[in-house]
C-alpha cells in the first residue's frame, strides 16, 4: 500500500523516505496543498516498472500482429527457424 506524505517531508525527512522506498519497494506519494504532486520510487522499483511496461508493450504489439494475420506457426516451425539462424 502506498504511503502518502506532504512534500515538505522530502526536505525534512529525506532519510526516512529513502529507507521506506528501498525497504518496501512501494512508492511514496508526496502531496502539495492536499493534492498529489510527486511520486518517489527506489531506482530498482522504477527499473522494474519500466521493464514490465516495455514487456507489456511488446506483448500488445505481438497480439495486434497476430490479429492482423491468419498465419500461425507451430513450436516446431519456430524452433527450426531459430536453429537456422545459428
pLDDT, tens digit (0-9, with 9 covering 90-100), for 1-17: 569 999 999 999 999 99
Show the CA angle centred on residue 32, arms to residues 22 and 24, nearest 5°: 15
Which cell goes with 22? 528501498
Residue 1 has a pLDDT of 59
Are both 10 and 35 inside the same structural domain? yes
Are both 66 and 35 inside the same structural domain? no
Residue 54 has a pLDDT of 97
Q: What's the average model confidence in pLDDT over 62-80?
A: 92
Are both 49 and 80 inside the same structural domain? yes
Q: What is the pTM of this model?
A: 0.69
Helices (H) and strands (E) counted in the chain, each on its own, are 4, 3
Are both 58 and 73 inside the same structural domain? yes
Number of domains, the chain: 2
Are both 74 and 62 inside the same structural domain? yes
28-54 pLDDT, tens per residue?
999 999 999 999 999 999 999 999 999
Are both 25 and 48 inside the same structural domain? no
CATH number for the domain spanning 15: value is: 3.40.1620.10
Question: Confidence class of residue 23 from pLDDT cuts 50, 70 and 90?
Answer: very high
Are both 27 and 8 inside the same structural domain? yes
Residue 7 has a pLDDT of 95
**Element housing 31 (H / E):** strand 28-32
**Domain membership of residue 26 as a residue range:** 3-41
Q: For residue 38, which of 67, 60, 11, 16 has the smallest C-alpha distance?
A: 11
Amino acid at each position: 500500500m502506498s504511503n502518502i506524505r506532504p512534500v515538505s517531508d522530502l526536505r525534512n525527512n529525506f532519510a526516512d523516505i529513502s529507507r521506506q522506498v528501498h525497504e518496501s519497494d512501494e512508492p511514496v506519494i508526496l502531496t502539495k496543498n492536499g493534492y498529489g504532486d510527486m511520486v518517489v520510487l527506489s531506482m530498482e522499483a522504477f527499473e522494474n516498472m519500466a521493464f514490465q511496461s516495455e514487456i507489456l508493450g511488446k506483448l500488445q504489439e505481438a497480439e495486434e500482429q497476430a490479429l492482423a494475420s491468419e498465419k500461425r506457426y507451430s513450436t516446431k516451425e519456430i524452433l527450426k527457424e531459430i536453429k537456422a539462424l545459428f
